[in-house]
Amino acid sequence: MWLNTVIHSLNSVVNPLVRIIKSAAAGVLAVMMFITAADVLLRYIFNRPLSGTMELTEYMMVILVAFGLSYCAFVKGLVSVEVVTSRFSSRIQAILNCITYFFSFAFFSVITWQSIVYIRLMLKSNLVSAVLLIPTFPFVAMLALGSLVFTLVLLTSFLEYLSQVVDK
């Protein structure tokens, strides 16, 4: 019973978070398209390229992917091999999912932790982009944030499968 309470309160935190960052990522994607197209048009028609599009694209990609991950996991969009597991009973499937999602959660906890370590490194080294001199650390922080939400989605999935195992 307590498990369901935990899942419920986790969801009430995670769901709005996923909604916010996925909208942010969608906005970034649209901007990325416009900037790339503008760069191409300006360069080939007016011979005036936008400077720094490449590094902007790189920064935008970090936000896009890091924020997209949790949304992808949230709508169960992560690719896995189902041909073997789909033959098992739903209880065995729940047990297997429980195991694999626990490992996934543990692995991404480490990645989140290391991304936070990386923010500190970037802050210390004062790394900035080559042309526009934009600091790198905020984008590493975005990665850490995206990775954190993704980890929470994985944790929620793990707990949901766990409750399925326990309930039966």
Partner 1 sequence: MTPLTVGFIGIGILFIFLFLGMPIGIAMGLVGFAGFTFLRGLDSALGVLTTVPYTTFSSYTFSVVPLFILMGAFCFHAGLSKDLYNTVYRWLGHLRGGLALATVGACAGFAAVSGSSVATAATMGTVALPEMKRYGYDPALATGSVAAGGTIGILIPPSVGLIVYGIIAEQSIGKLFLAGFIPGVLEAVFYIITIFIMCRINPLLGPPGPRSSWRERIGSLKNTWIILLLFFLVLGGLYFGIFTPTEAAGAGAFGAFIFALARRKLDWRALKESLFETLRNTAMILIIVLGAMILGYFLAISRVPFIIADTIVGLEMNRYIVLTFILIFLLFLGTVIDAPAMILLITPIFYPVATKLGFDPIWFGIIIVRMCEMALITPPVGLNVFVIKGVAEDVPMYTIFRGITPFLMADVCHIALLIAFPQLSLFLPNMM
Residues that bind partner 1 (CB under 8 A): 22, 25-26, 29-30, 32-37, 39-41, 44, 54, 57-62, 64-69, 71-73, 75, 77-85, 93, 96-97, 99-100, 103-104, 107-108, 110-111, 114-115, 117-118, 121, 139-140, 143, 147
Cβ–Cβ < 8 Å for 107, 154: no
Report the residue number, 139 or 155, with the smaller CB distance to partner 1.
Answer: 139
- State the minimum distance, in angstroms, from the CB of residue 135 to partner 1: 14
CB atoms within 10 A of CB 39: 19
Closer Cβ to partner 1, 7 or 22, answer by number: 22
How near is the Cβ of 59 to partner 1 at its closest, in Å? 7
Angle between helices 137-167 and 2-45 (to 10 degrees): 140
Taking residue 36's Cβ as centre, other Cβ atoms within 10 Å add up to 16
As measured in angstroms, the least distance from the Cβ of 6 to partner 1 is 22
- The separation between CA 111 and the C-alpha centre of its own chain, rounded to angstroms, equals 11
Q: What is the DSSP letter of 136?
A: S
Fill in the DSSP letter of residue 50.
P
Residue placing its CB nearer to partner 1 in the complex, 83 or 133 = 83
Distance from the Cα of residue 6 to its chain's centroid: 22
| In the complex, minimum distance from the CB of residue 164 to partner 1, in angstroms, rounded to a whole number | 14
Yes or no: say if 37 and 113 are a contact pair by the CB < 8 Å rule. no
Q: Hey, how many other C-beta atoms are within 10 angstroms of the C-beta on 59? A: 20
| Minimal distance, residue 15 CB to partner 1, in Å | 15
13 or 34: CB nearest partner 1: 34
